[in-house]
Amino acid sequence: MIFNLDSKDPNSKARAGTIKTDHGLIHTPIFMPVGTSATVKGVHQRDLKQEVNPDIILGNTYHLYLRPGEKIIEKAGGIHKFMNWDRNILTDSGGYQVYSLSNNRKINEEGVEFKSHIDGSYHFFSPEKAIKIQKKIGADIIMAFDECTPYPCQYNYAKKSMNMTHRWLKRCIKEFNKYPSVYDYDQTLFPIVQGSTFKDLRAESADFIANIGAKGNAIGGLSVGEPADEMYEMTQVVCDILPEDKPRYLMGVGTPINLLENIALGVDMFDCVMPSRNARNGMLFTANGTINIKNEKWKDNFEVIDSDNYSFVDVNYSKAYLRHLFSTKEALGRQIATIHNLSFYLWLVKEARNKIIDGTFKYWKVGMVKRMNKRL
């Protein structure tokens, strides 16, 4: 993997870059649609490619390990062939999902024992096992196994957890370097900065991660319930320490406004279930604010979904029709809303990239945040 820093905004810390992998170019800043179980829920790969048009999507190691299992994916020739996606894929390590199973897991130095949400069976993830599984899944970018602390979190617990995440990282790197790639393309390992919402811990972790010398770095443990201002404060602390010539990935973030504010702080990569999950519940993100399409006010609004035309669904269907689909619980409604939201998110980061390159990002961002921060 090669990262080139193409342009920097003169009035903020926003950057435009290009990541090159064996599956093509990733233009940053980038939002990665979440394809938890080798699918972005309800969206055909054809529509994902032609309408949403992301350079990279995300898969989930925990879910893919449980179903269909890494052996099936390996037998198919890797995740790209299994799901018929010829662009880039990133897999998270499973650490966040294990965190979300807090009532069904036990953590110690060796790793984490957890109970499957599917059938109640017990499984064990160690740093070594997380890397082995991700190698067999075959994503272009894979993540180190970490512990994601809850919010709020006691300082001593956050420090203890951070130090264990650092020790686990050394084990991940050793396992990653031990064996060649399973497939005929390279994989890249990203370490993860932790430290909860404590500035000194975040700085310590960022310094530790920076000194590892990885090809890219991630920021984890945010967007877990903390106020947005705290998220931005932690992101700023970390971005000021992580190397400038490596991509920075903020995990699990966020709203359209979160994306723009964190781009301004120097973040290059994002993922979040929000645009797809909220879409399935009838929330549409637009450049002029959010819409709850289930509201009665839209029942006889025959205007197109979004005249800004981010994808074909925006100008082929009316708000009244989309509301009708949600009222009757038709699957097509969730699909239309998902394609719209993801297409809007990708438009937003691509537009941010254009504004960074032409030097107007900061002023454009201020206007966009005001426009998007309302309900329609």
Lookup result for tokens 């029709």: 321
Predicted local distance difference test score (pLDDT) of residue 356 = 98
Q: Is the pLDDT at 375 greater than 90, yes or no?
A: yes
Per-residue tokens: 256: 């359209």
pLDDT band, very low/low/confident/very high, at 94 (cuts 50, 70, 90): confident
Predicted local distance difference test score (pLDDT) of residue 36 = 92
Q: What percent of the chain has pLDDT over 70?
A: 100
- Amino acid symbol at 183: Y
Predicted local distance difference test score (pLDDT) of residue 95 = 78
Q: Which of 55, 271, 306, 314 is catalytic?
A: 271
Pairwise CA distance, residues 269 & 338, whole Å: 20
Q: Is the pLDDT at 101 greater than 80, yes or no?
A: no
Largest interatomic CA distance in the chain: 62
Predicted local distance difference test score (pLDDT) of residue 247 = 98
* 308 given a catalytic annotation: no
CA dihedral 205, 107, 214, 351 (to 10 degrees): -80
pLDDT tens, 262-286?
Answer: 999 999 999 999 999 999 999 999 9
Q: Is the pLDDT at 138 greater than 90, yes or no?
A: yes
Lookup result for tokens 């020739």: 77
pLDDT tens, 69-79?
Answer: 999 999 999 99
Q: Is the pLDDT at 105 greater than 90, yes or no?
A: no
pLDDT band, very low/low/confident/very high, at 131 (cuts 50, 70, 90): very high
Q: Is the pLDDT at 370 greater than 90, yes or no?
A: yes
Q: Which residues contact 175 (CB under 8 A, 6 or more apart)?
A: 127, 128, 131, 132
Pairwise CA distance, residues 78 & 138, whole Å: 5
Q: Is the pLDDT at 96 greater than 90, yes or no?
A: no
Architecture of the domain made up of 2-271 = Alpha-Beta Barrel (3.20)
* 271 given a catalytic annotation: yes
* Average pLDDT for the chain: 96
Predicted local distance difference test score (pLDDT) of residue 226 = 96
pLDDT tens, 18-41?
Answer: 999 999 999 999 999 999 999 999
Average pLDDT score over residue span 129-140: 98
pLDDT tens, 299-318?
Answer: 999 999 999 999 999 999 99
Predicted local distance difference test score (pLDDT) of residue 97 = 75
Pairwise CA distance, residues 330 & 29, whole Å: 34
Predicted local distance difference test score (pLDDT) of residue 349 = 98
Predicted local distance difference test score (pLDDT) of residue 69 = 97
Q: Which of 9, 47, 55, 92 is catalytic?
A: 92
pLDDT tens, 237-257?
Answer: 999 999 999 999 999 999 999
Question: What's the per-residue H, E or C state across the chain?
Answer: CEEEEEEECCCCCCEEEEEEECCEEEEECEEECECCCCCCCCCCHHHHHHHHCCCEEEEEHHHHHHCCCHHHHHHHCCHHHHHCCCCEEEEECCHHHHHHCHHHEEEECCEEEEECCCCCCEEEECHHHHHHHHHHHCCCEEECCCCCCCCCCCHHHHHHHHHHHHHHHHHHHHHHHHCCCCCCCCCEEECEECCCCCHHHHHHHHHHHHHHCCCCEEECCCCCCCCHHHHHHHHHHHHCCCCCCCCEEECCCCCHHHHHHHHHCCCCEEECCHHHHHHHCCEEEECCEEEECCCHHHCCCCCECCCCCCCHHHHHCEHHHHHHHHHCCCHHHHHHHHHHHHHHHHHHHHHHHHHHHHCCHHHHHHHHHHHHCCEC
Q: Is the pLDDT at 16 greater than 80, yes or no?
A: yes
